[in-house]
Amino acid sequence: MNIKQWFSTYFTNHAETSEEHWNEMIRTHYFKTTKDKAFPLLEDYYRNSNKYKVMSSSKEHGEMSLQTVKGKKAFIVVSVVMVQPLRTAVDFSVTTESTLPFDFGYSHKLIREQQEEMKKLLPFLETSMAHKM
């Protein structure tokens, strides 16, 4: 991790996954399922969780917005997009609510935690597969 990457991790209050993110741990994750199967499963997971509150949900758009209810306050947007048959991408955007303009890496940590939870719920394929399409 170079100095620019270190600052972009620890001295910001926002993080999001992407195909080519410099941090391989928070790149887009792909699962072997369809959006129509994944979205309700994830929605049920978040609705039954004691860590998150679902603020809004749109199956048509493949997006959910969440608020953390334990620990640091954060706003999370989960995007579920089917890119090929049985290849569905799950992306996260996390903004930490804080009096400071940075969260010391909490938003990145929260994304990694979410991705690990998704791997327990859905059959994981790989990360960052745009180069294969």
- Among 22-26, 33-37, 38-42, the range scoring the smallest mean pLDDT is 22-26
Alpha carbon distances (Å) from 73 to 27, 49, 65, 70, 113 = 23, 15, 13, 7, 15
- The pLDDT tens digits for 42-100 are 999 999 999 999 999 999 999 999 999 988 899 999 999 999 999 999 999 999 998 87
Q: The whole model's pTM is what?
A: 0.89
- Structural domains in the chain plus CATH codes: 3-132 (3.30.530.20)
Strand partners for 84: 87
CB 70 within 8 Å of CB 52? no
- Among 17-31, 40-54, 85-99, 101-115, the range scoring the smallest mean pLDDT is 17-31
